[in-house]
Structure formats: C-alpha cells, structure tokens
Amino acid sequence: MRILVFGGRGALGSKLLSYCKQKEEWIIAAGFQSSSDANENVVLTNRDNFIAQSAECESQLVGLQKKLNLEPNFLDAVVCVAGGWRGGNAASDSFIQGCDDVIKQSIWSSVVAAQVASKHLKAGGLLVLSGAAAASNPTPYMMGYGMAKAAVHQLTKSLAAPKSGLPENSSVACLLINTLDTEQNRKAMPKADFSKWTSSEFIATLIHKWTIDASSREPSGSLVELKTENSKTTMNIV
C-alpha cells in the first residue's frame, strides 16, 4: 500500500509512520521536516503562503510520480494528522494570532490533503482528516481551535458528497479525538487521568486497517469520535 501522511513528524504522525513501516507499507511523509521512517519525503517550506504551499506539495508529488514511473493516481491513502492546539477566548491578547496558527495547522493542511487526494488517490482509496471531539460543542476557552476543527468536520462531510472531486468509490473519514496520550500532553497535564486518553497506537492501527480493508471503514463522511475509558477506546459516529 502507498500512504501519504501529512504531519509525519508529530506525535501521532510519527507513530503512524513507524507502524506502517513495520507493516512494510510504502510511505510518503509530507511536512516541514523529513522523516527517516518514510520511503520518500515531501518537504514543504512555505509556512505562511497557502497557495505556494499547495503548489510546492503538488510539484514534489508529480516529480516523485515521474521519477518512480508511477500512475498519477498512485496513492491508496492520504492521511492528515498535522495540527496543533491554541487556547484563548475573544478577549485574549493572543486571540488573533492563535486563530491564525490553528487555521494554518488544521484547515490549510486538511485542504491541501483533500486536493492531493483528488489528484493522486486511487479509486476506492481513503482520505483521513483530523478533527476534534470538543469542536462538536462551544469552545469558549479555545475558540480558534474549535473553529478550525469544526471547519475540518464540514470539509469531511462535503468531500463525501457527490461531485466533491474525490476519485470514484473513495472514502473520507474524520477522527474526533478527545485527548491524545503523548509525552507532551502528560508533561502539560501531569494530574490528568491518563486512562481517559487515546493512544497513538490505537489510532495508527485503525488507520492502517481502514487502508488495507475497505470493508472495515465507517461510511464515507463519518465523524468518528474516539472515546477512551479505563484505557479502552471505543468509536462513535457523531
């Protein structure tokens, strides 16, 4: 399987890359840093110019396709786990900057991933985006983050609709994570109940399963909430 991962150097992206490497899948990591776990890397440099960033990504993918003599629709899955968190309400001094950050981290990355899927995903392929369970409700304490993730939820629904531009019989899903169990989150919230946090291993296993077995996927357009209690994760379509 050929899998493109946006955000391959993040906590979740790194786990997904290492898991897929163990399964001997062929992986492209796309982001601002390369990954040694990937077979190929698409290294982006345009952090502040959305149009240039998209063009840069497409140019490198086309170059890679031609170098390896692959068909244009050569990807079995496109996975976007790029993102970041920013807190604050409308009165916060950092409100505007925080909104700008999460728009770039979550919306830009998801939109670029969607266009890559439209051009390079195989018929019947998979696109996975990263949402947030919190964005299903008001988020006054992290307003920009909730807004950005809600936009990704809407994008997911639109991509699953007819004439969205995705290849025939492809599937799109959005993962709604409550709190991801990472070293950084444990340091930031040392008194939290870690048994309620979702492991990166669970998510990596799930995405890989969806990639190799189309029958295991949720209906296209699903917002899949991952809820963890007592270190056991269940899925719920919201």
pLDDT tens figures, 91-113: 999 999 999 999 999 999 999 99
pLDDT above 90: residue 17: yes
The answer to whether position 230 is within a domain reads: no
Residues 159-197 have pLDDT tens digits of 999 999 999 999 999 999 999 999 989 999 999 999 999
Q: Which of 145, 197, 202, 210 is catalytic?
A: 145
192 within a domain of the structure (yes/no): no
* Residue 83 confidence class, pLDDT cut points 50, 70, 90: confident
Q: How far is it between the farthest Cα atoms of the chain?
A: 53
Q: Specify whether the CB–CB gap between 111 and 55 falls below 8 A.
A: no
Dihedral of alpha carbons 159, 153, 83, 206, sign: negative
Q: Is 145 a catalytic residue?
A: yes
pLDDT at 124 over 90: yes
Structure token digits, residue 5: 């991962």
- Could you tell me the residue range of the domain that residue 108 belongs to? 2-182+199-222
Domains contained in the chain, number: 1
Average pLDDT rounded to a whole number, residues 5-20: 94
What are the contacts of 161-168 at 24+ separation with CB within 8 A? 161/221, 165/118, 166/114, 166/117, 166/118, 166/121, 166/127, 167/73, 167/117, 167/118, 167/121, 167/122, 167/123, 167/124, 167/125, 168/123, 168/124
Evaluate whether residue 227 is within a structural domain: no
Q: Tell me the pLDDT tens digit for each residue of 65-78.
A: 999 999 999 999 99
Six-digit token pair at 20?
Answer: 């897929």
| Strand ranges in 87-230 using DSSP code E only, listed in sequence order | 121-132, 171-177, 180-181, 198-199, 222-229
In a domain, 59, yes or no: yes
* 8-state DSSP, 133: G
> Is position 190 within any domain?
no
* CATH number (domain holding residue 207): 3.40.50.720
Question: What is the torsion angle, in degrees rounded to the nearest 10, for the CA atoms of residue 147, residue 28, residue 122 and residue 61?
Answer: 90
Instruction: Answer whether residue 154 is part of any domain.
Output: yes
pLDDT of residue 78: 98
- Name residue, tokens 């990639």: 211
Question: Is 189 inside a domain boundary?
Answer: no
Distance in angstroms (rounded) separating the CA atoms of residues 70 and 75? 10
In a domain, 62, yes or no: yes
84: pLDDT strictly greater than 90: no
Torsion of CA 87, 89, 93, 99, to 10 degrees: 60
